[in-house]
Amino acid sequence: MATIKVSVVSADREIWSGDASMVVARTTIGEVGILPGHTPLLGTLAEGEVRITLPGGER
């Protein structure tokens, strides 16, 4: 299964980092879904949760 490297960071620390099979997050430009092979993306998160699916299917 293909994975992507994910880093969720704030201005002062890393919140989570690891491999994922999918990421869904609300940004200031709307909700985005990121799968392996997606163009690298840097965005500003909006209020809401970041949903990360791990390679084994755990969320």
Structure confidence by residue, pLDDT tens digits, 42-51: 889 999 999 9
What's the confidence (pLDDT) of residue 43? Answer: 87
Question: Who's near 3: CB < 8 A, 6+ residues apart?
Answer: 19, 20, 21, 36, 55
Question: pLDDT (tens digit, 0 to 9) for every residue of the chain, 59 residues total?
Answer: 799 999 999 999 999 999 999 999 999 999 999 999 998 888 899 999 999 999 999 99
- Counts of helices then strands in the chain (DSSP H, E): 0, 5
Lookup: tokens for 45: 């998160």
Per-domain boundaries in the chain: 4-53
Select from 2.40.30.330, 3.30.360.10, 3.20.10.10, 2.60.15.10 the CATH code of 4-53.
2.60.15.10
